[in-house]
Amino acid sequence: MENQNDAAGGGGFLAGFLIGILTGAALAMMIAPQTGEETRDLVLGKTLEAGNVAKDAASGVYSRGKQVIDAARSQVTAAVDEGKSAADVTKADLSQQAVTERPAGEGL
């Protein structure tokens, strides 16, 4: 449960971050003392920077997701192996019971 909350919080943070960047860029354009060309260059630079930040964040989310999936896969594999072992033990016990409970004089 805690991992799900962490993942949802990461997505909310990223969305808030991107909205903040866009709001800041819009405000900067409205109150900027630069010329239009300088403002466009500034916005382009900030847009590229935001794109890099978003790429890094997406990479982090991907890495974390991969870790969660790998951990889950390991747990499932361990559970399956444990189930197979328990089935083998039960099968051996039942086979042993069948041999010991067979009436005398019966063949295989």
Q: List pLDDT tens digits, range 3-38.
A: 555 555 567 888 888 888 888 877 877 776 777 788
Q: Is the entire prediction scored with pTM above 0.85?
A: no
Residue 106, SS3 per DSSP: coil
Average pLDDT over residues 40-61: 86
Phi-psi region of 105 (alpha: psi -120 to 50; beta: other; left: phi over 0): left
Least trusted range by pLDDT, from 2-6, 39-43, 50-54: 2-6
Average pLDDT over residues 63-74: 94
Dihedral over alpha carbons 75, 76, 79, 84 (to 10 degrees) = -140
Tell which wins on pLDDT, 86 or 3. Answer: 86
